[in-house]
């Protein structure tokens, strides 16, 4: 089995064209944050991401079928950080950043396991951010992965 390397992830993340990026860090409840079964925990996180995007799209576009460009990285931090998600998501043109962040927070808190959302809209070094999010993965280090199922690009 071939493992995805940091370089593989960096190449993948370069494909995402996000013109007005907002950087989100999503926090989970204790059950997910410190989940013991890594595979089941990541699957549960992906379901939360899916519900988050469905709700966010309902809030942002109402009846439109449009999707918001984004990429999603699941990460397991150290002993105290636990599982969390980093995301680069495009702010829709018709919304202010503060309104979009409020809608994102509302949508995240509506998910089953979402408890906190931190947003940073001053993304000036996208290449560096992609490098940070493209964690090294190997047989011994499966602490991070790109959630391809919930990522979207134009």
Domains of the chain: 6-150 (3.30.70)
pTM: 0.83
- CA 65 to each of CA 57, 68, 88, 96, 144: distance values in angstroms, whole numbers, following the listed order: 8, 10, 20, 21, 30
Note the pLDDT tens digit of each residue in 19-41. 888 999 999 999 999 998 988 99
The pLDDT of residue 124 is above 60: no
Query: Please, which pLDDT band fits residue 142 given cuts at 50, 70 and 90?
Result: low
Helix (H, G, I), strand (E, B) or coil at 103: helix
pLDDT at 13: 64
Separation of CA 82 from chain center: 15
Binned at pLDDT 50, 70 and 90, residue 153 comes out as: confident
The rounded distance, in Å, linking the Cα atoms of 138 and 140 is 5
Find the mean pLDDT for residues 130-134.
60
pLDDT of 10: 64
Closest CA to 3 of 99, 119, 114, 144: 144
Under the banding of pLDDT at 50, 70 and 90, the label for residue 51 is very high
The mean of the pLDDT values for the chain is: 83
Rounded to an integer, the average pLDDT of 13-21 is: 75
Residue 1 has pLDDT above 50, yes or no: no
Q: What is the reported pLDDT for 152?
A: 84
């Amino acid at each position: 089995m071939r493992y995805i390397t940091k370089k593989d992830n960096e190449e993948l993340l370069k494909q995402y064209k996000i013109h007005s990026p907002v950087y989100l860090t999503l926090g989970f409840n204790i059950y997910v944050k410190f989940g013991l079964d890594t595979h089941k925990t990541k699957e549960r996180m992906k379901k939360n991401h899916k519900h988050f995007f469905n709700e966010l799209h309902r809030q942002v576009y109402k009846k439109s079928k449009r999707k918001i460009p984004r990429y999603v990285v699941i990460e397991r931090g150290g002993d105290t950080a636990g599982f969390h998600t980093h995301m680069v998501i495009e702010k829709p043109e018709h919304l202010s950043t503060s309104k979009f962040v409020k809608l994102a927070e509302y949508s995240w808190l509506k998910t089953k396991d979402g408890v906190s959302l931190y947003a940073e809209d001053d993304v000036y070094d996208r290449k560096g951010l992609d490098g940070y999010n493209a964690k090294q993965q190997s047989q011994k280090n499966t602490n991070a992965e790109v959630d391809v199922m919930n990522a979207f690009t134009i």
